[in-house]
Amino acid sequence: MVNFQGVRKNFGALQVLKGVDLEVHSGQVVALIGRSGSGKSTALRCVNGLEKINAGKLTVCGYDLSKDNVDLRKLRHDVGIVFQSYNLFPHLTVEQNVTLAPRKVLGISTAEAKEIAADVLAQVGLSDKLDNYAEQLSGGQQQRVAIARSLAMRPKLMLFDEVTSALDPELTGEVLKTIERLAANGMTMMLVTHEMAFARSVANRVVFMHQGTVWESGPGEMLVNPQTPELQQFVGSGL
């Protein structure tokens, strides 16, 4: 579903991705870990076309993002992304936030959009919050609405960029349980996270990025027995 082949990304003179090779297959959960500045969030943003790669080849859900003529609108139907900031519309209810994109982008009826909203809000455990406004929700609940909003577009792939970094431990647990349920239901996901225990237990594959490259990758158990000094130090630091 996602295939990085020698992908490079520069911001001016700064080279952030230095030849990344990485595959994500349908139904997999891949966790990207690493220090700030290692390239993990940039790699994720390239998958959704938010950043254009400078060299190499990147294919996502059949789209070749190495080319200039990629239909990003269609790509983003297939690839949902959730950030650490919820970006909910404060003047809309939870239901209205979730139904807006399906109605405006996919052109489906209000009645069908409401059915989808009911389904995805049930998936994130917020069926009882349909008529609430964002300010009436906790941070964890707002983040779960943001996840539901992405799910409402029926994506093939979900991306999560440090979605719990602004939350306290209790609210973090709420959101991680939601992602765990999605994983159990077979959703293909890539997530940037600092939650090592979560990465180990939920991800099929953990990718440790260091200095713009895939430094070490493997099943979650690799966090217990790192093969490189850099990952040993990273895991040992408790980051």
Give 207's Cβ-side CA count (13 Å radius).
25
Q: Is the dihedral of CA 184, 28, 238, 83 positive or negative?
A: negative
Identity at 31, one-letter amino acid code: A
In a domain, 234, yes or no: no
**For residue 24, what is the domain's CATH number?**
3.40.50.300
pLDDT digits (tens, 9 = 90+) for 99-149: 999 999 889 999 999 999 999 999 999 999 999 998 899 999 999 999 999
- Calpha distance 230→101 (Å, rounded): 42
Cα–Cα distance for residue pair 160/162, rounded to 1 Å: 6
Question: Any alpha helices (H) in 152-186, and if so which ranges?
Answer: 169-184
Cα separation, 109 vs 103, in Å, equals: 6
Residue 51 lies in a domain: yes
Contact 30, 203 (CB under 8 A): yes
Task: Check: CB of residue 12 under 8 Å from CB of residue 172.
Answer: no
Give residue-wise pLDDT tens across range 151-172.
999 999 999 999 888 788 888 8
pLDDT higher than threshold 60 for residue 206: yes
Residue 238 lies in a domain: no
Q: Per residue in 42-98, pLDDT tens?
A: 999 999 999 999 999 999 999 999 988 899 989 988 999 998 888 899 999 999 999
Domain membership of residue 131 (yes or no) is: yes
Domain contains 235: no
As a whole number of angstroms, the distance between CA 69 and CA 74 comes to 12
- Per-residue pLDDT tens digits for 28-39: 999 999 999 999
Q: Is 236 within the bounds of a domain?
A: no
Q: What angle do CA 193, 197, 200 make, to 5 degrees?
A: 85
Q: Tell me how many domains the chain contains.
A: 1
Rounded CA-CA distance 227/234 in Å is 12
User: For residue 74, which of 83, 65, 85, 87 has the smallest C-alpha distance?
Assistant: 65
User: Per the domain annotation, does 237 fall within a domain?
Assistant: no
- Decide: pTM greater than 0.75: yes
Q: Which of 230, 236, 225, 202 is nearest to 214 (CA)?
A: 230
Q: How far are the Cα atoms of 10, 25, 64, 193 from residue 3, in angstroms, in the given order? A: 19, 9, 10, 20
Range of the domain at 150: 2-229
Assess if residue 89 is contained within a domain.
Answer: yes
Residue 239 clears pLDDT 70, i.e. is over it? no
